[in-house]
Structures are given as C-alpha cells and as structure tokens.
Amino acid sequence: MARVFAGGEALDVPLQDAADGVSVRDHALFKQLCYGSLRHYHQYSGFLRQCLTSPLKQRDADVQALMLIGLLQLFEMRTPDHAAISSSVEACRALGKPWATRLVNGVLRRCLRESDTLRAQLREHEGMDHPAWLVKALRSDWPDHCAELIATNNAPPPMSLRVNKARTDRDAYLDQLASLGIGAQPGALAKQSICLDRPLDVNELPGFFQGEVSVQDEAAQLAAHLLAPVQGQRVLDACAAPGGKACHILETHRDIAELVAMDSDPQRLSRVAQNLERLSLEATLLCADACVPEPSLGEFDRILVDAPCSGTGVIRRHPDIKVLRRSEDIAGFAKQQQAILSGLWPRLKPGGRLLYVTCSVLRQENTDVIERFLSETADASTVAIESSWGVQAGLGRQLLSGTHGADGLFYAAVEKTR
C-alpha cells in the first residue's frame, strides 16, 4: 500500500506482486484490506493528521499504510480491537522498524478512544472520503446527484456478467447458476447481462473457461449495441485493452467483415489476445497510437473510441483513483481525447459512425470534448442516443455511477457526413 500512497503506483501491480506471497485461504481478506484502506484513505488520513505531531517521512510511508490498515480493521471490519492493534504493532517489527511500535500502538488506541471527536473534526472532504478537488467537481457537474455519486464511490462494486449468446442464452445460464446455488438476477440495462448477488472467483462460474460467460459491467455492455455494426462492415476498436468490448462486438455481430483491436501498450494488447482465445474469437491485433494511426489501416465503417480518462465513473472498482488522481490531470486527459478523435477521424468512412466512450462522470472529459470536436470538424454530426437509461448530457448520454448498479460511463455517437 505504501507503493500506492507514497510511490504513486496504481494498485494493480503492487497487488499482484504481493498476492503471490499470500495463501489462497487469505486472498479475500488480503484484497479487502488493500481496497478498503484506499476507499477510506481520506477519512483515516484525517485521523492521522490529528494524532501525529508531525507528518511521517517519505521513507516511513509503510508505517502510515500500516496505521491506515489498522484503522480499517478497527472501524470497518469485524476484527476484534485487541487483534487489530496487536497485529499492527507486531507488523512494525516485521517491517524492520521496531521504533514504530509505540507510535502505532498509541495512535490506534487514541483513535479507538476518541473516534467520535476525531470524526467530528475531519475536514469536509475527509469526512466524504474523497479528495477536495473531486468533491468540488462533482458538485459543479452534478449538483443534484453529488451525494449519491460519493456514496456509490465509497461502496464495494457488484459483479456483473455478460452471457455469450453464441454459446448459450441468459435464461439458460441463470438456470445453471441456480442449480449450483449461486444467486443472480437478469441485468436491467443490457440484454446479455447478469448481476450476481455476491462476487465470485471466476473459477466458480460454470462455463467461464469454455467461453459461455465473461465478467463485464452492464454499462460497458451497451457499447456493442450503440456501435451497431452490420454485415460486411470493418470495425476498429481503437483503445481495445483488455478487450471486453471488442469480444462483445464479435459475439453479437458475427457477420462483420473484420474487427481490428488496437492499443498502444503491447502488454495490455496481450490481454486482448487472451480474452479472444478463451472465447474462440478472431480479430486483427495492432499495437499503435490512436492519435497518429497509420494510413495503411484503411477506412472503417465503425470506430469505437473507449478513450483514456480519469476513471471517475469506476472509482468503486479502482479506489486508488481517489488517492492518485489530481485535478490538473483532467485537462491532460481531455487534450489526449481530442487528439485521439482528430487522429482517428480520417480513418472513418463517409456515412460511418464513431462511438465515443469514457468511464468518467466529468463534463470536461465528456460533453466538452465532443462539443469542441464537432465545432472543429465540418463533416461531423451527432447521432441522438434514444434510450431510457442515463441522463442527457449535452450531445451524449451519461450513466451515473450506481444507476441500476452499473458503472458511470458516458456515450456519444458521431457520424461522418457523406
């Protein structure tokens, strides 16, 4: 956790590095401690701010992480108080920092003893477990939904599945789950979606390794429907990794001529290949920069741009976003999104459709980007997304995090005039 808090790393890599040394029996607890300490980072950092006479040095970020995990166990989990404190103290010695035993013991005991007072003296954003800049942005963009968005961001996410209709159908797969005692409901937004009553390891899902089902949030499953390719068309998934949307397009539109799955990161592109192989699907894989795609790519009838973004619509799945992201990052993402749209537009055939998607709920990355692109592109026009889900957001449609249990995604469809 110190690598995230102080080193600025996204959680995925440190998590995987550490998971190799954790027994299978303890994996669920291990992940709960990691994700939980990130979800409540701002609140319990506010506790430490009040209890420490001076901030810890950078080299002692592991001690800070240890205390945050101790506070998580004291206030959010069913760990007995004495066990949470004693295990945290013992961990100081395991870290090679016996000098910190008294500090950790004293801070955790004071937080337990004075929790009501400490909580009352938290800064507003600390009490909301969000960075101050993000609270301000959510209030500005979604004043009527801000409290709901913050509550959703602070909660663990549900687990949704996408049934491969080329192998089975949703009702049949629900029957399979029921026969195994796995609680699940049909999704409210997408035709192939299923929402599990509780998250499971994919090893417990019947037919997963045979390609009957994939893990994908309901909001993301709307992309294949909105892109709407038809027989014989060429399709480009421009920011394809890890491949969920590309695979869904191939599952539901098996008569298209070709799907090119492109990504700028070769390691991430390998994950696309793995997903295609599991589902027995074929696509052309290409490692390239979407901002400057090669003319040799040719033209496409449909282009999906699942653009790099702040991830503010999927914070509950990636709580490290609340710790790592900064307000100035948003303008950088918006600039990159504009560059991707401008770079890909020449690759779209006249009469073709481009679907712009982000997993952000911030206007600066969504409606502002599309409006600017249209103002600068003479042969571009928007296509209205007629749907009952989400809310109208400028020239696109926004699903707010938690709506029908889904993630927060923005969609806008743009066509090139003939």
- Active site (catalytic) residues: 359
The two counts, helices (H) then strands (E), for the chain are 18, 13
The type of residue at 210 is Q
Distance (Å, whole) CA 191 – CA 298: 32
Structure tokens at 350: 């006249």
Euclidean distance between the first and final Cα of the chain, in Å? 53
> Which residues lie closer than 8 Å to 179 by C-beta, 6 or more apart?
none
Which two three-digit tokens encode residue 390? Answer: 């989400």
Angle, helices 132-141/327-344, rounded to nearest 10 degrees: 60
At residue 158, what are phi and psi to the nearest 5 degrees?
A: -75, 175
Of 305, 209, 295, the closest CA to residue 262 belongs to 305
Measured in whole angstroms, how far is the alpha carbon of residue 245 from the centre of its chain? 14
Helix (H) / strand (E) element for 33: namely helix 27-39
Q: To the nearest 10°, the Cα dihedral for 216, 220, 222, 223?
A: -120
CA distance 115 to 122: 11
